[in-house]
Amino acid sequence: MVLTKISEGVTGDLKEEVFMHQPPGFKDVSSPSLVCKLHKALYGLRQAPRAWFDKLKSAIFSLGFTSSRADTSLFLRFTPQHICFILVYVDDILVTGSDTDAISTLVSQLDRLFALKDLGHINYFLGIQVEHTDSGLHLCQKKYITDLLWRAKMQFANSLTNPMTSGEKLSAFGSDLVTEPHFYRSLVGALQYATITRPEITYAVNRVSQFMQNPLQSHFKVVKKILRYLKGTLDYGLHLSRSSQLSLTAFCDADWASDPDDRRSTTGFCIFLGANLVSWASKKQRTVSRSSTESEYRSLANTTAELV
């Protein structure tokens, strides 16, 4: 798995006419009223992100790749000899596949088109640390969570063994409002990103995310519990191991009428590809279930949709 970065200065091509004022330092003193017609998208231009992605996507398509229906930033190429994957985030590109020679050739082809910086085997990508082991890859967000603890001023707090007390129910009433709601939303948003490698906090983060509009002190206490739990488990993460078995296995459950305000149930599921956890979620059901059996069936339906 190789991480590459496109060199600075590469921009997309514009498909429509865009004009701009003469930039400072490059003004024509004799004709100050003239404007510049852009042929390339500049940073900050509204069309720039789409123009750049269209240019990159066209180049990747020319190499025989197709776009994934599940994620537009993921590109696939299947041949009888090998499989290749390209994952794009702006100008950072993650390349992997079943054949190392094919990967090297692909990186060379992209380098001729865009002038890449080959950063070698992936170690850190979008806040996720990747550790290569004998059996596979270990993904964690130790640095990201550590920075989050410092932002929350909880770097010296005592750790907890659980992210949330068992059976604890949160309500929109019964407590004082948080004095800094923006700070609460910032922390909860950061915790949502931490669930990428920490599925065990998904339920707790889902619960505190339901009160972003008017957070209470009781909700903020749970956020602090989650952070204290993360402090004691910084090295925890996902381990992706090699496996010849590619069967999908799913587990689901429902907490019937768990919300004390609207009596809606909560669905939770996790899906394994072989021995590796690849998908998980915890979310409130859209309608009220009249029995625990009904809530379980709704949970099963959501899990089946995810499997499909």
pLDDT at 24: 83
- Dihedral (CA of 202, 206, 208, 209) sign: positive
User: Do 197 and 107 fall into the same domain?
Assistant: no
User: Do 226 and 177 fall into the same domain?
Assistant: yes
Give yes or no for a contact between 118 and 135, defined as CB atoms under 8 angstroms apart. no
- pLDDT tens digits, residue range 134-171? 888 999 999 999 999 999 999 999 999 999 988 889 99
What residues make up the domain containing 79? 2-122
In the predicted model, is pLDDT for residue 78 greater than 90?
A: yes
- pLDDT tens digits, residue range 109-137? 988 888 888 888 889 888 899 998 888 89
User: Do 167 and 206 fall into the same domain?
Assistant: yes
- pLDDT tens digits, residue range 209-231? 999 999 999 999 999 999 999 99
- This model's pTM is above 0.85: no
CATH code of 13's domain? 3.30.310
In the predicted model, is pLDDT for residue 8 greater than 60?
A: no
What percentage of the chain has pLDDT greater than the value 90? Answer: 62
Q: What's the rounded mean pLDDT across residues 278-292?
A: 94
pLDDT at 153: 94
In a domain, 21, yes or no: yes
User: Do 155 and 101 fall into the same domain?
Assistant: no
User: Do 203 and 264 fall into the same domain?
Assistant: no
User: Do 33 and 117 fall into the same domain?
Assistant: yes
User: Do 51 and 21 fall into the same domain?
Assistant: yes
What are the φ and ψ backbone dihedral angles of 277, each rounded to 5 degrees?
A: -75, 120
pLDDT at 7: 59
pLDDT at 152: 95
User: Do 25 and 102 fall into the same domain?
Assistant: yes
In a domain, 132, yes or no: no
Tokens coding 157: 């707090």
- pLDDT tens digits, residue range 259-271? 999 999 999 999 9
Per-residue confidence band for 187, with pLDDT thresholds at 50, 70 and 90: very high
The domain boundary, picked from 58, 87, 122, lies at 122
Order of all β-strands in the sheet with 116-121: 66-67, 74-78, 83-89, 92-97, 2-6, 116-121
Higher pLDDT, 44 or 248: 248
In the predicted model, is pLDDT for residue 15 greater than 80?
A: no
The domain boundary, picked from 62, 92, 122, lies at 122
User: Do 72 and 115 fall into the same domain?
Assistant: yes
In a domain, 129, yes or no: no
In whole numbers, what is the pLDDT of the chain averaged over residues?
A: 90
Beta 276-284 vs 19-21: how paired, if at all?
unpaired
Q: Which are the contacts of 298, defined by CB distance < 8 A and separation ≥ 6? A: 254, 265, 267, 285, 287, 289
pLDDT at 91: 79
Higher pLDDT, 41 or 175: 175
Tokens coding 260: 């004390």
- pLDDT tens digits, residue range 36-70? 888 787 777 777 788 888 888 999 999 999 999 88
Between CA 274 and CA 308 the distance in angstroms is 16
Closest C-alpha among 25, 20, 23, 24 to residue 36: 20
In a domain, 259, yes or no: yes
